[in-house]
Structure 1
Amino acid sequence: MAVQNDTLLDINGLKMHFPVKSNGLLRRTIGAVKAVDGLSFSVKRGETLGLVGESGCGKSTTGRAILQLHRPTAGTVSFDGTDLTKLKGEAMRQMRRKVQIIFQDPYASLNPRMTVGDIVGEPIRVHGLRTGKDVRTRVEELLRVVGLNPYFINRYPHEFSGGQRQRIGIARALAVEPDFIVCDEPVSALDVSIQAQIINLLQDLQGQFGLTYLFIAHNLSVVKHISDRVAVMYLGKMVELAPSKDLYANPMHPYTQALLSAVPIPDPEVEKQRQRIILQGDVPSPLNPPTGCHFHTRCPIVIDKCKAEDPPFHDYGGGHFVACWRATESQEQMNLKLQ
């Protein structure tokens, strides 16, 4: 995947806090769920940034906040030099041509009362990209691009398999000719064999149309295959960000090490000798996150400083960022814990 040096998306201090209301008539705000709590990162034009973490860590909320489907509580989202958080009305509608999303559920994200032609053709009509018979011609072209027969244009979503429905979702995202697409766990609901087909399709489309992806997923093997860089989230914060090969070969944060230890290796002998890192306890509530490092309640190598001070997101060389007070010694210490 060829990556240029210019930045397409720049996120600075992004926060997404959902208010919690009390019961009763007055419904006062008594707290906030800190789903995303101060993210700062950038995405280069033409690259794929993988975003991983446990369920509830804020991955999907981050993607939706970037697209302004959720209006961020704080922070800026600069897309190609334009701050999306300041756009409203027609200006935001026009910007949606450039930023699109592929949803996780390929069935719930499609209107069951609309045909494939209407689903893919609607954004083309809304943005005035084609009119009359040209809309149908463009829809048929998009169906071919994503590997579907144009003959299916008059069928409904329930007449397709999960993989085919996801291809329809991809065609809909491509309909407005975007520059940036948030892939919100686009293969997690699909069979393994179909996952590979969709991943290969996304890579082919990236090369063909020069797309930039934020690829959100649970499956670290999938993320490794498609991503140029990988970011790891935990409880609303980013704990590690590095080039894909570097992160998988040299994970520096204890949480990343635990995630990677759970990825199965397709070699029985190697898998037999490998030891898992089992984290104790549950993920704390984002309504009342721990002080200091959010991971300290489950970290096997925690020290007092971790409980009191939030570690900075520091670059340890080669674009490998880690938020951990013990990043330089974490691998040695985690190995000692396993012995």
Structure 2
Amino acid sequence: MTSLPPRSGDGANLIEVQNLEMHFPVTRGIVFQRKVGTIKAVDGISFAIKKGETLGLVGESGCGKSTTGRAILQLYRPTAGSVIFEGQDLTQLKGDALRKMRRRVQMIFQDPYASLNPRMTVGDIIGEPIRVHRLREGRAVRERVEELLGLVGLNPAFANRYPHEFSGGQRQRIGIARALAVEPQFVVCDEPVSALDVSIQAQVVNLLEELQQKLGLTYLFIAHDLSVVKHISDRVAVMYLGKMVELSEGSKLYSMPLHPYTQALLSAVPIPDPKVELQRRRIILEGDVPSPLNPPSGCHFHTRCPIMIPKCKEEDPPFTDYGDGHFAACWRARESAELMPTVARKQAEMLAARISADIAKVKSKTG
């Protein structure tokens, strides 16, 4: 069992995830199916998010990030664990109680091209959740749709258009407006900028930050781009093969990562400075990512870890607080910062400083 990492600082937790598991059965046969294995997409993770906070969730493709977000919102019914939202366990809700809960928790999907119904106008797409939850009727629905379009930076007159008439960035703004239509408190952002151009990514991230300040939203921001996550997140969690391996305040994780996997991810982030880029040295992980159908014993990362010891093969390391809310699941976490190559450590520090400077520049322009 994994204990829930406590939130540092003042304020109550809006959502608490405890020992969440999402396993998918693997079957064979057409008429008579039999179970031959289990894919452990999410394998016992725990974390909490404070009201008004943004928690970034990062990791390689296939590590379980999106599945975690969908399981929290009960789009997938978790195999085990609990999701406590304002004192209520979402995993126990069914029927009308579950439908009412969906007003308070929403999702922004990754692909702005696949997540919008091409046969519906923008007005109908955004207005549908308003009608389903009976928040407004008649002309009031149309007025609310136009208000939401203006809120996300689109012309209210666009309500009569269809999704194919918009660019990727505009479609994602429509998706954001749809998520906000029912006035949620918690929003799962499932890689909302990964399908967009870099310049458009910055616009969408800035929009999400502005909406958070205006509406008091709480985000789980899922992404694989560590630079984007640092811009918007208060804390950052790292997943590997269904498990959470590190969780910390953003500045600490970027400047002094404790887990070898986090160090490898940071070493792969390009820095937009030719002089710094010449000094960049990647930490190359050997081997392929193991299959979640048959994960390794002990620490799931030990098959690729450059500082692995025999204990890593035998025992799964606990998710431990190494000070000031910096959690890591590694038997050598206290040593990993010292064992991290000098060039890679300097690179992580330069990356953290560079991103912090970029954040300050963006805020000075928008503020």
Q: State percent identity of aligned pairs.
A: 75
Aligned to 1:225: 231
**One-letter amino acid of the counterpart of residue 15, structure 1:** E
Aligned to 1:213: 219
Q: Is 1:327 paired with 2:356?
A: no
Q: Is 1:11 paired with 2:17?
A: yes
Aligned to 1:263: 269
Equivalent in 148, 151, 157 of residue 145 of structure 1:
151
Find the aligned partners of 2:315 and 2:227 in 1 and give their Cα distance. Answer: 33
Instruction: Identify the range of structure 1 (84-93 vs 272-281) with the bigger mean alpha-carbon deviation.
Output: 272-281
Secondary structure, in 3 states, of the residue corresponding to 1:158?
Answer: helix
Contact 2:267–2:344 (Cα < 8 Å) also in 1 = no
Q: Is 1:281 paired with 2:287?
A: yes
Aligned to 2:320: 314
Contact 1:4–1:45 (Cα < 8 Å) also in 2 = no
Find the aligned partners of 1:68 and 1:89 in 2 and give their Cα distance. Answer: 12
**One-letter amino acid of the counterpart of residue 306, structure 1:** C
Structure 1 residue 211 displacement after superposition? 0.1
**One-letter amino acid of the counterpart of residue 30, structure 1:** V
Contact 1:48–1:227 (Cα < 8 Å) also in 2 = yes
Contact 2:279–2:343 (Cα < 8 Å) also in 1 = no
TM-score (norm 1): 0.97
**One-letter amino acid of the counterpart of residue 333, structure 1:** L
Secondary structure, in 3 states, of the residue corresponding to 2:341?
Answer: helix
Structure 1 residue 274 displacement after superposition? 2.6
Q: Deviation string for 1:90-116 (max 9, x for gaps)?
A: 000000000000000001100000000
Structure 1 residue 26 displacement after superposition? 2.4
TM-score (norm 2): 0.90
Q: Deviation string for 1:275-320 (max 9, x for gaps)?
A: 1101011100000000000000000010000000000000001100
Q: Is 1:34 paired with 2:32?
A: no
Aligned to 2:190: 184
Q: Is 1:79 paired with 2:82?
A: no
CA gap 1:224/1:83 in 2 versus in 1, 3 angstroms: same
Structure 1 residue 25 displacement after superposition? 3.7
Aligned to 1:67: 73
Find the aligned partners of 2:30 and 2:220 in 1 and give their Cα distance. Answer: 41
Structure 1 residue 273 displacement after superposition? 1.6
Aligned to 2:311: 305
Q: Deviation string for 1:2-28 (max 9, x for gaps)?
A: x86110000000000000012254211
Find the aligned partners of 1:34 and 1:241 in 2 and give their Cα distance. Answer: 21
Aligned to 1:92: 98
**One-letter amino acid of the counterpart of residue 224, structure 1:** K
Aligned to 2:139: 133
Secondary structure, in 3 states, of the residue corresponding to 1:272?
Answer: helix
- Gapped runs of 5+ residues in structure 1? none
Structure 1 residue 338 displacement after superposition? 7.9
Q: Is 1:21 paired with 2:43?
A: no
Aligned to 1:157: 163
Equivalent in 253, 256, 280 of residue 259 of structure 2:
253
Structure 1 residue 156 displacement after superposition? 0.2
Q: Is 1:236 paired with 2:242?
A: yes
**One-letter amino acid of the counterpart of residue 218, structure 2:** T
Equivalent in 277, 296, 304 of residue 302 of structure 2:
296
Secondary structure, in 3 states, of the residue corresponding to 2:82?
Answer: strand
Structure 1 residue 30 displacement after superposition? 1.4
Find the aligned partners of 2:39 and 2:267 in 1 and give their Cα distance. Answer: 29
Structure 1 residue 154 displacement after superposition? 0.4
Structure 1 residue 336 displacement after superposition? 7.6
Structure 1 segments, 4+ long, off by >6 Å, are: 336-339
Structure 1 residue 331 displacement after superposition? 2.2
Aligned to 1:113: 119
Find the aligned partners of 1:93 and 1:261 in 2 and give their Cα distance. Answer: 43
Find the aligned partners of 1:83 and 1:70 in 2 and give their Cα distance. Answer: 15
Contact 1:15–1:36 (Cα < 8 Å) also in 2 = yes
**One-letter amino acid of the counterpart of residue 210, structure 1:** G
Q: Is 1:57 paired with 2:30?
A: no
Find the aligned partners of 1:327 and 1:106 in 2 and give their Cα distance. Answer: 39
Aligned to 1:194: 200
Find the aligned partners of 2:252 and 2:25 in 1 and give their Cα distance. Answer: 38
